[in-house]
Amino acid sequence: MYHDILVTLDGTPTDRAIIDHIKELAALRQSRVVLLHVVTSASAKYYGPNASDRQVTDSRRYLESVQAEYAAAGIAAEVELAYGEPVHEIVAWVNRHGCDLVAMSTHGHTFMADLVFGTTAIRVQHSISVPVLLLRAK
C-alpha cells in the first residue's frame, strides 16, 4: 500500500504540510515519491516542455530542493514538471503513470469559497479513482 505516491506542489508555503507528512509516510512505507509541479505561465501553456521562462527554471529548482530534502531522509523522490492547467495535468499524470496515492496541501478556504471558486484539490479528487490525501496548511 502506498508504494508509489504522487505529491503535487504549487511552490507556496502551503506545500510544507504535505512535504513533511509524506516524508514520514514514505519513510515508513518505503515508498517511491514523485514530486510534481504544474507550470502555468503563458510560455508553459504555449510551448509545454519546450518552455524556458523564469517560472520553469524556478519551479525546477524548487522541486530539486525538495527532492534533496527527501534524499537526505533516505527517500527516493523523482521530479517532474507539467505544463498548463493544474487539474488537467495532474489528472493526466495519474492516468498515464498511475500511483497508489495523490497527496496535496490545501489553502484552507472556507466551504463556501471552495464551492464558488472550486479548488484544484477538490477537482482532482473528483476526477481520479485513487485515494487523495489532502492536508490543510496551517
Average pLDDT, the chain: 91
Candidate from 60-69, 109-118, 126-135 with smallest mean pLDDT: 109-118
- Strand arrangement of the beta sheet that strand 77-83 belongs to: 77-83, 32-39, 4-8, 101-106, 132-136
Could you tell me if residue 36 is inside a domain?
yes
pTM given for the model = 0.91
C-alpha span between 12 and 75 (Å, rounded): 22
For residue 116, CA distances in Å to 46, 108, 122, 123 come to 28, 14, 12, 13
C-alpha span between 57 and 37 (Å, rounded): 12
Could you tell me if residue 3 is inside a domain?
no
Could you tell me if residue 47 is inside a domain?
yes
Could you tell me if residue 53 is inside a domain?
yes
Could you tell me if residue 1 is inside a domain?
no
Could you tell me if residue 2 is inside a domain?
no
For 4-42, how does the pLDDT look when each residue is reduced to its tens digit (9 = 90+)? Answer: 999 999 999 999 999 999 999 999 999 999 999 999 999
Can you give the pLDDT at residue 90?
97
pLDDT reading at 112 higher than 80: no
Question: What percent of the chain is predicted at pLDDT more than 90?
Answer: 80
Could you tell me if residue 127 is inside a domain?
yes
Looking at residue 80, which CATH number applies to its domain? 3.40.50.620
To 10 degrees, what angle do helices 15-29 and 54-72 make?
A: 40
Q: In terms of residue numbers, what domain contains 45?
A: 8-136
Could you tell me if residue 40 is inside a domain?
yes
For 46-98, how does the pLDDT look when each residue is reduced to its tens digit (9 = 90+)? Answer: 998 999 899 999 999 999 999 999 999 999 999 999 999 999 999 999 999 99
Per the rule left: phi > 0, alpha: psi between -120 and 50, beta: everything else, 109 is beta
Domain count of the fold of the chain: 1
pLDDT reading at 114 higher than 90: no
More confident residue, 64 or 111: 64
Q: In angstroms, how far is the first alpha carbon of the chain from the final one? A: 27
Instruction: Determine what percent of the chain falls in helix, strand and coil, rounding each to the nearest 5.
Output: 50, 20, 30
